[in-house]
């Protein structure tokens, strides 16, 4: 029988009533003839509660025990979902990560999936099981310890299972009914997209859109897994939600598909850095080692052997970046006059595969912002993306203006 993967997020399984609702959706797909693999998250709020308990018990906790505790939320949901399906006369069984097994690296709380052998679950399907309910977010290390994949890891679990079992599709059920041209809370004209290309979704996810975890989109693109994002709380239909698929499956795309934003950005500038070969490596090597996620990078024109280097990073990593630069300066690896941090900026981005073949997108974006009196501090581009850093107070205005300028409310 064909395999379908269905993933239910925390809000979709927040209580027993919602688990029953989700189970009914699974039952509909079983009735269509699918063998179904259901990936579940912990009930809404439970992971935060478990993380809080760990921190309260042991501020400098053992990462292995952290994973043992925080992974338990998914085990509860998986068992309850399997019991609910059994009450509906649907043959179901729950599976924890180590039982499948979901083989991962040993990087506790940030493990990566290395292999998902299909033998165990396939054998049970052959014996009459119709639904395998798998605890998302977790796996097992080569040492036999429970691991977790990081926040949002259940999305990655779902896509990995879809790839491993050559599933027809991977449905991600959440509290939104699809992927929108921008955040509907900011732009009332935001429109739900019927389809979006993997590359566009990857850019939107990395730029701040919270619909899908970035790693899950990367995995789907690599293995060409069709993803469908849809709501657990709306009527079930084959046309519901947004399909994330290969670019070739989309007849014709708008030049810009979406406007993304990230509110918590910081702009950091190293003033008067020695302009010499290897200086970039001397700056960004220590930042990488310190776990600072650098995004935009600009080097100003050098004057008399000195230059300024500007980069952006999340605001919660500013202190880490400052320490990494101070340590590098103390070691003599780099020499600079000052490090200035501006933590009152936001990143706004226009994304679309149509940019590859259409000129004038950057000019239109910059003119739109200029007309609204929004000053651009930093610009970064890729083949299908243009991002700018602006003062945070203008973020919502910029998103709305760009959404209107590129007429994203029109199909």
Please give the annotated binding residues for substrate, written as ranges. 47, 74
Which residues sit opposite 380 in a β-bridge? 387
Binding residues: 7-10, 47, 74, 174-175, 180, 185, 210-211
Question: By C-alpha distance, which of 357, 294, 290, 362 is closest to 327?
Answer: 290
Q: Which two tokens stand for residue 232?
A: 């657990």
For residue 283, give Cα distances in angstroms to 291, 310, 317, 322.
13, 11, 15, 11
Q: How far apart are CA 164 and CA 220, in angstroms?
A: 11
For residue 388, give Cα distances in angstroms to 53, 262, 349.
39, 11, 6
**Phi-psi sector, 144: left (phi>0), alpha (psi -120 to 50), beta:** left
The torsion angle over the Cα atoms of residues 240, 244, 248 and 254, rounded to 10 degrees, is: 80
Q: How far apart are CA 159 and CA 3, in angstroms?
A: 13
What's the gap between Cα 134 and its chain centre? 20
Q: How far apart are CA 140 and CA 100, in angstroms?
A: 9
């Amino acid at each position: 029988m064909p395999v379908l993967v269905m993933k239910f997020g925390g809000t979709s399984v927040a209580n027993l009533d919602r688990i029953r609702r989700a189970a009914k959706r699974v039952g509909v797909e079983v009735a269509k003839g699918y063998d179904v693999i259901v990936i579940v998250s912990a009930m809404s709020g439970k992971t935060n509660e478990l993380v809080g308990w760990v921190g309260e018990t042991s501020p400098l906790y053992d990462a292995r025990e952290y994973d043992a505790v925080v992974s338990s939320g998914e085990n509860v949901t998986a068992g309850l979902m399997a019991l609910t399906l059994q009450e509906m006369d649907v043959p179901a069984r729950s599976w924890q990560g180590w039982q499948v097994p979901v083989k991962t690296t040993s990087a506790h709380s940030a493990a990566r999936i290395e292999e998902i052998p299909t033998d165990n679950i396939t054998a049970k399907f052959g014996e009459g099981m119709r639904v395998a309910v798998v605890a998302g977010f977790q796996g097992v290390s080569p040492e036999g310890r429970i691991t977790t994949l990081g926040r949002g890891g259940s999305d990655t679990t779902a896509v990995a299972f879809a790839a491993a079992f050559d599933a027809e599709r991977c449905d991600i059920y959440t509290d939104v009914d699809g992927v929108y041209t921008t955040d509907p809370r900011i732009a009332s004209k935001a429109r739900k997209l019927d389809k979006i290309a993997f590359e566009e979704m990857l850019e939107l996810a990395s730029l701040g859109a919270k619909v899908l975890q970035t790693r899950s989109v990367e995995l789907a693109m690599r293995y060409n897994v069709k993803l469908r994002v849809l709501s657990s709380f709306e009527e079930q239909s084959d046309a519901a939600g947004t399909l994330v698929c290969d670019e070739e499956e989309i007849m014709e795309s708008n030049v810009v598909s979406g406007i993304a934003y990230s509110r918590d950005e910081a702009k950091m500038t190293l003033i008067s850095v020695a302009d010499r070969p290897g200086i970039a490596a001397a700056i960004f090597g220590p930042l990488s080692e310190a776990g600072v996620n650098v995004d935009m990078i600009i080097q100003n024109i050098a004057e008399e052997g000195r230059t300024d280097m500007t980069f952006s990073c999340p605001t919660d990593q500013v202190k880490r970046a400052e320490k990494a630069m101070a340590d590098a300066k103390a070691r003599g690896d780099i020499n600079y006059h000052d490090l200035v941090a501006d933590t009152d900026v936001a990143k706004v981005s226009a994304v679309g595969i149509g940019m590859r073949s259409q000129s004038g997108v950057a000019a239109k974006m910059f003119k739109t912002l200029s007309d609204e009196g929004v000053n651009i501090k930093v610009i970064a581009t890729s083949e299908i993306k243009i991002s700018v850093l602006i003062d945070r107070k203008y973020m919502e205005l910029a998103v709305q203006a760009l959404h209107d300028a590129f007429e994203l409310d029109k199909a």
